[in-house]
A and B are shown apart, each in its own frame.
Chain A
Amino acid sequence: MIRAWLARALVPALSLVLALALSSVVISLAGENPARALTLLIAGAFRDGEAVGYTLFYATDFAFTGLAVAVAFHGGLFNIGAEGQAYLGGLAVALLCLGAEGWPKLLVIPAAVVVSALAGAAWAFVPGWLQARRGSHVVITTIMFNFIAAALMTHLLVNVLIKPGQQSPETREFATNTWLPQLGRSPLNLAFVLALLAAAVVWFYLWRTRWGYELRAFGHSATAAVYAGIRPARMIVVAMSISGALAGLMSLNEVMGFHHRLLLNFPSGAGYVGIAVALMGRNHPLGILPAAILFGALYQGGAELSFEMPKLTRDMVVVIQGLIILVCGAFEHALRRPVERLLLARARG
């Protein structure tokens, strides 16, 4: 039992070390000192209360998208479309906030939760339905839906929703009654609490309800699930919709909690970070939350880093994120086997 837990914590930790070691090679190639860069990164993420606030603010985004990817993973599906689903969620939130001037806050917030989840779910429902009914591969359709969402949102922001008489493609600022309450002086806001709630709900759904059990059974072995009377098409559509809803909720943090307007490309890669977070957190909420905080720290620290070392743009964080997905996801067995063998030997000896 202890061994299983140790392996569960040790493998991601080793993966992180390995990914950072590989990143150091990249930093050296870019002509900077890796040790100094990593120190700056960590310092930038945790220097003071404000930095920690930013770290948790970014972590909120990644917790939502990480949960989104994880729910789909449990159903045996790879949802790469969290980016587009979050984008559409943001559209719904923005339309609500623009129209909700004068509404009481207690009404706006639940309404925003509902519309962002619905919009995200709708954008994921279509690829899910196409996979279930037409067999079109969900990985490719969700990627295409990301491109389509980007085109659609650019059109809307440039031509329709743009604040009149303004150059940059963004909506006008929402009325203050639609802003999510901030926690402290950083952009950390109520969405962080919502993310924790979402993690609890996802845990309860997956491990404490019949529907969650069905989903996991289906993801584990679709053929066995069919014999147990589980309908595959339904499972695919449900898993994708829930996944999309979680991704859609991410927009609350950015649009309603921080910018208070709809910006071009506001998810800025959070959907892809979600993949790394889900893999590193082993698709479990208790793993996803720390992984999300880790990536929040990388984003916040990465911003500070590119300020100190202009050679290392924020794309460096994308490299680290890609390497973590590679090490945790693709080379999973390569690391786990030796670790388990070692622990086994220890237990015997």
Chain B
Amino acid sequence: MSGDAFLVVALLADATVRGAAPLVLAALGGLYSERAGVVDIGLEGKMLASAFAAAAVAAITGSAWIGLGAGIAASLLVSAVHGVACVTYHGNQVVSGMALNITLSGLTAVLGNAWFHEGGQTPLLGPGARFAPIDLPGAVALKPLPVVGTIYDEVVSGHNVLVYVAAVTLPLTAWMIARTRFGLRLRAVGESPEAVDTSGVSVSATRYRAVLMSGLFCGLSGAYLSIAHHASFVRDMSAGKGYLALAALIFGRWRPLPAVAACVLFALADAVQIRLQGTPLPVVGVVPVQLIQAIPYVLTVALLAGFVGRAVAPRAIGLPYVKDR
């Protein structure tokens, strides 16, 4: 492989990592909620809430960390509303999630416009108010090395802290779900809430915890968009990422590693899509940019339809638990 082609691949991998981080965080967040039996189509809305709150607070305080805290708080608040609707009031979970998505899409635009007077955008963040790339130890020293040095420098090093947080959440989530008491109860509540109830564990409390975990993760994901990947909030900036994350979760059959792999696949498709814009392809020539941008969405439909077949969802997903049923 020539050096140039290798660099292209390394850059593509780098873009994939950056694009995958918010998807991974949101998909793993959704995993907690859905494995506990609560449909989480509101990933999109929670990401938007967090992206807006994080950017707004970071712009005012000048601190990325306070912004992150605000983003997580906003996302937790949204998931708490979802929890009350779905767990306490046995509401329709898909409707609740969509309602929150629509509300947040409008709310962030209205408040952004009213507070910052920039057409729904938040002010551009300065250096301290967003998460800067971190050079991992040895990145500069290893750079001259062929292959390994380039991979380490381009792909592994030089991301912001939230990318590394996303990387850590995978083993953490896998461990929590599979090996802890909380994880066991969470899975049980999603498969057979009656059994959990009979054993004296509160179904509602477990589901609330799961829903709030999703809020926490979506908070990280949304903040990543506005104060790490970009330097301000732009209206509707999640642009369907919450839905893609949910599709990745389903495609990964509600298991951590396959779900993350699907996220990486979507991010790769997006990175390729951006690279392909304006480049002539063999046979078809230059494909219009608008059609290329649809690749991740078409891929989602194709994956859901073609390769998963019938995914086996948690048995009690979408069903409110009513004791006297």
Contacts and interface: CB of A to CB of B under 8 A. Distances in A.
Interface stretch (A108-116, A235-243, A307-315): A307-315
Nearest to A273: B102
Chain A CB within 10 Å, residue with most, of B98, B100, B109 = B98
Contact of B106 (A32, A154, A319): A319
Contact of B92 (A26, A322, A329): A329
Interface in B74-107: 81, 85-86, 89-92, 94-96, 98-107
B298 interface: yes
A144 B111 contact: no
A149 to B, nearest CB: 9
Q: Chain B: interface secondary structure?
A: helix
A303 interface: no
B297 A148 contact: yes
Interface in A91-107: none
B184 to A, nearest CB: 27
B256 interface: no
Interface in A132-153: 134-137, 139-141, 143-145, 147-148, 151-152
Interface in B247-299: 247, 250, 288, 290-291, 293-294, 297-298
A322 B95 contact: no
A130 B294 contact: no
B110 A147 contact: no
A272 B101 CA distance: 11
B85 to A, nearest CB: 4
Interface residues of B, number: 50
B215 to A, nearest CB: 16
A1 interface: no
Contacts of A275: 95, 98, 102
Given A311-B114, A322-B106, A333-B91, A152 B98 contact: no
15 contacts: A31-B114, A136-B304, A148-B298, A151-B293, A155-B290, A279-B95, A319-B107, A320-B106, A322-B100, A322-B106, A325-B95, A325-B98, A325-B103, A326-B81, A331-B89
Given A30-B110, A80-B98, A140-B246, 7 more contacts: A130-B301, A136-B308, A151-B291, A311-B114, A313-B113, A319-B103, A320-B106
